[in-house]
Chains A and B, each alone.
Chain A
């Protein structure tokens, strides 16, 4: 008798092969058979008629390191069909970390993840210092699989103390870092992450940015002993520097026999040559035999702002810039001065700001009335009998300026350009940043968006190719053993979804972080069932009590 039988679905097995009608039989957390009309009984059966059955999706760029300590499902990632995640990106992990170094690293995490301080003081007990200890702390409650990176910044911090954020390392320190990295890899780390961009909560470069090339080379030599991944955040705002980093990664990949990956790669109408140039260089380096995987995200980038802080969103409105750059008290005085307000309103155009501001969305999660969240300024203005520009000003003033507005899809938003990038065999779909930027935007639902926008709407990828991209391709790139394909003998990570509707819900604020902290999320659309290591973890809109996740075994 099988433990679980998923019957009658169209199986896209992760290889990119055309889908085929089949059952998937699971026993002991493993797939035991895939084929049509499988004989035999099962303890549980999932009717997948009319649904697509695929390997669980794998998200290679997340920051769930902290959340996993109280939420083993990395919600809402799992309900979007994601069964494996890679945390520890961008040079930051929660281990190895000495107790005395925790405050500094917490500050770095808060800068990146925007997580409330209570997350670090109330939600879990610090029971570890080394990487094996962190693994032991998260493993018992995992409902999702985890392939954790170890952060270069915390390795530096461990070996160099305060000097980690001040200078390059000596040779003996590089050796010590290598030994520490080796311990982490032996404890299950999937690789090393580093950053050339990130800053701490005080705006200082994170420790990894003080490393000389010799240090990175030495650490990559250790990665080479295991064939594990190097992940970096390059200076993505400058394509020429990014290309130089691609060349550096290629040299490290070839010298040490390791895979490397970098993120993010953005497409922008303001810099239309940037992403194509970076990807062209990647192609050249793959032709040399290097493995340099660029991560391209599916979702567009939005601009968000409130009148609490000046935003370049108003850069084309000089008077607005001047007002919003005033100290708060003077700014409030200006925003309540009738003559100033009338001039600002006039600047927004004869249409009352409809063209400039009408499509702005009230985000919620702040002092804005909850009922306004998700609505356009145009519709709110109509309801209030105001023009959009006057509604923006009055709504802000009524709520202490603490009303966040969102200008949707202002970057990385040209589907016709991004679709072919995602389909490129040398492009790694990733960079979701799940678990980070909590108070800025939702980092969930990128996989649903891949299907809704680039498969169904644009036809840039076939359904099977899209599945392959976020399952077997990812498993192969990262060396995740026995995952990414629906095949006998492999781990039973499965997602059952409606190919006609899979997508992502609207961004919405929730207050489910420790200390009632706020974050933006997106709900899953079209996902019926998510199976992790043979256990149903999500079904018909609800999480189960299953905790079958594990630390991913590696090739």
Chain B
């Protein structure tokens, strides 16, 4: 999935956070061409992957950032609970 003319994810990596937990750094290319990082904590990172139905960081590349932001951060709902993450259940592993 490649989004044109809007802010898109151009990379995602895992890094160490201040508290020793793994965090996700998403690199976003904004509409004006600027590429800037956004740091997500573990829970948010998992939700982002779940909402996009991806299980691999590389699959986030090309995804529309604004849409993800709305789904993942701004519209957090009970659907995003840890136990109901959309990544699939026991039958999917």
Binding site for B on A (CB under 8 A): 236-240, 264, 266, 268-271, 274, 301-305, 310-313, 315-316, 318-319, 321-323, 325-327, 330, 333-334, 340, 343-344, 407, 410-412, 437, 440-441
State the CA gap A343–B92 with chains docked (Å).
12
CB-based contact B92/A322 at 8 Å? yes
CB-based contact A323/B18 at 8 Å? no
Chain B residues, Cβ within 8 Å of A334: 90, 93
Chain B residues, Cβ within 8 Å of A411: 15-17
Interface residues on B, range: 35 or more
> B36 at interface (Cβ–Cβ under 8 A)?
yes
State the CA gap A312–B42 with chains docked (Å).
6
Known: A268-B25, A325-B85, A340-B93. A310 touches B20 (CB 8 A): no
Chain B residues, Cβ within 8 Å of A323: 93
Chain A residues, Cβ within 8 Å of B23: 237, 312
**A325's contact among B25, B38, B54, B82, by CB below 8 Å, is which?**
B82
State the CA gap A410–B23 with chains docked (Å).
11
State the CA gap A407–B17 with chains docked (Å).
12
CB-based contact A302/B20 at 8 Å? yes
Known: A315-B24, A319-B55, A330-B90. A410 touches B16 (CB 8 A): yes
Chain B residues, Cβ within 8 Å of A333: 90
Max chain A Cβ within 10 angstroms of own Cβ: one of B22, B36, B83 = B22
| Overall SS of chain B's interface | mixed
Chain A residues, Cβ within 8 Å of B46: 310, 312, 321, 325
State the CA gap A323–B89 with chains docked (Å).
8
State the CA gap A412–B23 with chains docked (Å).
14
**A/B interface sample: 15 pairs, CB < 8 A:** A238-B38, A264-B18, A311-B21, A313-B22, A316-B14, A318-B55, A325-B85, A327-B83, A333-B90, A334-B90, A334-B93, A340-B93, A410-B22, A411-B17, A440-B20
Top 3 nearest A-B pairs (CB, nearest first) are A318-B55, A411-B16, A312-B22
Chain B residues, Cβ within 8 Å of A340: 93
Q: Which of B1-29 contact A (CB under 8 A)?
A: 13-25
Chain A residues, Cβ within 8 Å of B88: 322
Shortest beta-carbon distance, B3 to chain A, in Å?
Answer: 22
